[in-house]
Structure 1
Amino acid sequence: MTATTVDQSGAAAPSAPPRVVAPVTWKAVIGLGVVLALFVLLLLLAPHEGSARFALSTSTDFVVLSTLVVPAMATAWTCAAVALVLVAFAVVRTRSGRRVPLWAVAVFAAALLVGFLAWAGAGSPRDISVVGLLGGAIGLSVPLIFGALGGVIGERAGVVNIAIEGQLLAGAFVAAIVASLTKSPWAGLVAAILASALVALVLALFTITYRVNQVIVGVVLNVLVIGLTSFFYSEVLVPNAERLNSTVRFPRLPIPGLESIPVIGPVLFNQTIVVYLMYLAVPAVSYALFRTKWGLRVRAVGEHPKAADTVGIDVLRTRYRAVLIGGAVVGFGGAFYTVVSINQFGREMTAGAGFIALAAVIFGKWDPLRAALAGLLFGFATNLQNVLSVVGSPVPSQFMLMLPYVVTLLAVAGLVGKSRAPAASGTPYTKE
C-alpha cells in the first residue's frame, strides 16, 4: 500500500515510495581479513632476509630511473601494517552501515602486492621489472578483455555466451591463414572478426531461433571449434607452414611524448593498434549499453523480454544483433594471438582464455568497465608467475596460475560482493 500525505489544500496525495536499501554485510571485511592473515602467516613461517630490487624503467626509456633497492622484510611488514589500517577502516565503515569503498580495496590489494613482491624477490640478484610486469599483464589481458566485452553484450541481451573460447580460437585460426596469404595483419584482423561472428551466428541460431539450451550449445561449439582447428592445423597448416601459417604482425606504435612518461609510458603508450582499439572498446561498449537507445533495448530484452515485446521491441532481432556484435568484439581478441602476440597459429593456443573471460563477466557483475578490470586482474595474475620465475622466487608457478580461478570462485560465491545476472539471461523467449 502506498503511504499518503496531506497537501495544503487538504487533499490526500501519494508520498514517495520508501527507498529500499540493501543490507551491508561483513563479507568484504572477512575477505580482507583472511587475505591479510594469510600474508602475515607467510611472513612469519617463511621469512626472507635480504633486499629486493625493483627496476622502474628500461635502458631504452627517455627517462631512466634508478633501481629501487628496499629491505625485503621491513617493506613486507610495512605493507602489512598499511593493509591492517585499511581492514580497520573497513570494519568501521561496515559497523556504521556503509559499504567498503572500492578505493580502499584497491589500496589494500596494491599494498599486499608490493609486500609480496618484496618478500618473493628478497636476496635475488635480478631486478623485478615493474615495466615488464605491467606491460606483460596488458598483453595477456587483451584477449580476456575483448572476450569479456563480447560476453557482457550477449548476456545483457539474455544469451549466455559459453562459446567465447571457440570464438577466440576460430578468430586466431582464420586470422593466421588470411594474414599469411595476404601478408597483411589488417586482413587477418578483419577475417578474425568475421570468423568469430560466424561462430556467434551459429550460437544465436540454435539458442534464439530453436531455443536449445544455451550452455549446451556453447559447450558443443567450443568442442567443435577445437576439433576443427586441431584437425586443419595438423593436416593443412603444418605441411604448409611457410605459406599458410607465417603471419606479419602489427608493429608497435609509440605515441610521441606519452611513451616517455616513466613506468606507465612504455606500458600503456608503446603498444600495437589492437591494444589501442581495446582502450577505445571498453568505454565505447559501456556508452553503447548505458547511454544509447540500442543499449536500452538490449538491457530490456535481457531483463524482461515480455515487457520489451509489449512496447514494440523485437526481442529476437535485438538478441541476434547483440550476439553478433558481441562475437565480432571477441574476434579482436582472437586476432591478437596470431597477428600481435606471435606470428603463427598453434593447437589450442587460447588455452582456456574464453572461460577466464566468462569468469571476468561474472566477476565484473555484467558491467563492461568492471569486466575489463577483471580481465586485467586475471592477466596480471598470469603474468606475475612469469616474473616470479625470472627472479627465482620459491613460490610455485602453479600457485600463481590458479589465482584467476580462485578469484572467480570467490566472486561466484558472493565473497567480493553480490553478483546478479540479467533476469532473463539463459532463458529462451517464446512469443505467445
Structure 2
Amino acid sequence: MESYALLLGSTLSAGTVLALASLGLLINEKSGIVNLGAEGMMLCAAVAAFATVVHTGSFTLGFVAGMATGALLAALFGVLVIWFNTNQYATGLALSLFGVGFSAFLGIGYVQAKLPDTPKFAWPGLSDLPMLGPALGTLHPLVYGTMALAAAMVWFLYRTRAGLVLRSVGESPESAHALGYSVRRIRLGAVAAGGALCGLAGAYISTVYTPLWVEGMVAGRGWIALALTTFATWRPARVLLGAYLFGGVTMLQFHLQASGVQVASQLLSMLPYVATIVVLVLISRNPAWIRANMPASLGRPFHPGG
C-alpha cells in the first residue's frame, strides 16, 4: 500500500508541471491567442530559475526569475502576433525553437552545478493521514497551490467581470472592441500571464521536481500541455484532472520498473506521448464538439481598424 501512496504523491508532483503550463496556455487561448512556444519558454525559465538559485540560494527568487523569464518571452511573442500581425503558429514555433537553443547555450556552465538542499515540508493534518500521510503530507506547497490556482481560475473566468471580458475577447474581439475594450492590451496581458505560468512550470522542474540542469530537460512537456488544453476543452478543472492523468501515466513507468515488470524501458518512456496521441485522435473524431467548446476567435488575428 505504501508504494501506491508514493505513486499518488509522485503523480501529483508530476501533474503539477503540466497543470501550471496548461493553465497558462488556457489563459492565452481564452483570449484568442495560440502560443506554440511553451516548450521554449519552459526551458528558458528552467535555466533562469536554476541559475538564480545557484547564485542566491533562494528558491523563491528562482521561481520569480522563472516567471519573469516566461512572461518576458511571452510578451515578446505577444507584441509580434498582436501588433505586427505575424502568424501565431509560425511565431510560436520560432519561439519554441529559440528557447531550446538559447537555454542550451545559457545552461552550459550549469550542467554540473548543484542546488542547496530543497526545503522539507510537513503539512499538519495531511501528514497524519493513515497510509497516505507520508506521500501527501510532504509535497511542495506549489502542488497544492496549483490546485488552488485552478479553482481561482474557474472563479475568475466564470464569476467575475474581468473574466467575462477576457472570454468575450476570445469569442468576438470585434464586439469587445465596439464596447470600448482594448482588445490588444487585454490579449497581451493574457499572453504575458500565461507565459508567467509556463515559466513557473519550468522553474518547478529544474529546482524542485528534478533539481538539476540538463539540456532539453522539459522533455516535451510543453507540447503535452498544449494537447492537454484541447483535451480539457478549455476548462480549468478538466485541465487539472487531465494533468494528473498524464502525470500518472508518466510515473507509472517508474512504478512498473520498481515492481520488476519486464518491459523495455524505452517502451515505458513512450507511454506519456502515446497517451497524448491517443487522446488527440479520440477528440479529433468529433470536430463539432471541439468547435462548440473552443473560443470562436482562437488563432484569428484582430485588426482594430478592419
Match of 2:44 in 1: 170
**Matching residue within 205, 214, 218 for 2:79:** 205
1:431 aligns with 2:304: yes
Check whether the contact 2:14–2:209 (CA below 8 A) recurs between aligned residues. Answer: no
CA distance in 2, matches of 1:411, 1:199: 33
The DSSP-based 3-state class of the residue aligned with 1:145 is: helix
- Aligned 8 A contact 1:249 1:339 in 2: no
**Aligned 8 A contact 1:189 1:335 in 2:** yes
Q: Distance in 2 between matches of 1:417 and 1:213?
A: 25
1:412 equivalent in structure 2: 283
Please tell me whether residue 182 in structure 1 is matched to residue 60 in structure 2.
no
Give the C-alpha shift of residue 390 in structure 1. Answer: 1.5
**Coordinate RMSD, CA, aligned:** 1.9
When you count strand as a share of all residues, which structure comes out higher? 1
* 1:219 Cα deviation after fit: 0.7
Q: What's 1:157 paired with?
A: 31
Write the letter of the residue equivalent to 2:87: N
Q: Distance in 1 between matches of 2:221 and 2:126?
A: 30
> What is the deviation of 1:286?
1.6
Assess if the C-alpha contact under 8 Å between 2:9 and 2:139 holds in 1.
no
CA–CA distance in structure 2, aligned partners of residues 364 and 286 of structure 1? 13
**Structure 2: distance between partners of 1:417 and 1:389:** 41
Name the larger-Rg structure: 1
- State how far apart, in whole Å, the 1-side matches of 2:232 and 2:76 are: 26
Any unmatched runs of 5+ in structure 2? none
Alpha-carbon distance in 1 for matches of 2:281, 2:125: 41
Answering whether residue 119 of structure 2 is matched by residue 251 of structure 1, we say yes
Post-superposition Cα deviations, 1:178-204, rounded to whole Å, max 9, x if no partner, equal 111001111101100100101111110
The TM-score, its normalising length taken from structure 1, stands at: 0.66
**Aligned partners of 2:117, 2:77: CA distance in 1, in Å?**
30
TM-score (norm 2): 0.92
Tell me the CA shift for residue 395 of structure 1. 4.4
Letter of the 2:13 partner, please give it: G
For 2:224, the equivalent position in structure 1 comes to: 356
Equivalent position of 1:280 in the other structure: 148
The alpha carbon displacement at 1:132 in A equals 2.1
After TM superposition, give the deviation of residue 411 of structure 1 in Å. Answer: 4.1
Distance, in Å, in 1 between the alignment partners of 2:151 and 2:134 is 22
Cα-to-partner distance string for 1:192-219 (whole Å, 9 max, x where unaligned):
0100101111110111111111111111
Matches for 1:328-343 after TM superposition, within 5 Å: 328-343=196-211
Q: By how many angstroms is 1:415 displaced?
A: 6.1
Are residues 418 and 430 of structure 1, via their aligned partners in 2, closer, same or farther at CA, if it must alter by over 3 Å?
same
Which range moved further: 142-151 or 410-419? 410-419
**Unpaired segments ≥5 residues, structure 1:** 1-55, 58-128
**Match in the other structure for 1:110:** none
Q: Is the 8 A contact 1:163 1:218 kept in 2?
A: yes
Report 1:58-207 matches (<5 A): 129-207=3-81
* 1:145 and 1:372 in contact (8 A); partners too: yes
2-structure distance, mates of 1:368, 1:308 = 23
Please report how far the alpha carbon of residue 396 of structure 1 lies from its aligned counterpart in structure 2 after TM superposition. 4.4
**Contact 1:249–1:338 (Cα < 8 Å) also in 2:** no
SS of the counterpart of 1:271?
coil
Match of 2:170 in 1: 302
Kept after mapping to 1: 8 A contact 2:147/2:240 = no
Contact map agreement 2:231 2:280 (CA 8 A) in 1 = no
* Counterpart in the other structure of 2:107: 233
- Please give the alpha-carbon distance, in whole angstroms, between the structure 1 residues aligned to 2:192 and 2:36: 14
Larger relative contact order (C-alpha < 8 A, sep ≥ 6)?
Answer: 2
Structure 1, residues 405-426: CA drift from partner, whole Å, max 9, x if none? 2333234314699323211010
User: What residue identity is the alignment partner of 2:237?
Assistant: L
Partner of 2:182: 314
- Residues 249 and 307 of structure 1: is their aligned pair in 2 closer, same or farther, counting only changes over 3 Å? farther
One-letter identity of the residue aligned with 1:139: S
Cα pair distance change 1:414/1:294, threshold 3 Å: farther
Counterpart contact for 2:47–2:106, Cα < 8 Å: no
Paired amino acid for 2:50? A
Q: What is the aligned partner in structure 2 of residue 388 from structure 1? A: 256
Q: Deviations over 1:19-59 (max 9, x none)?
A: xxxxxxxxxxxxxxxxxxxxxxxxxxxxxxxxxxxxx23xx
Q: Read off the aligned partner of 1:295 and give its amino acid letter.
A: G
Which of the numbers 205, 208, 214 marks the counterpart of 1:346? Answer: 214
More helix by share: 2
Letter in 2 for 1:146: L
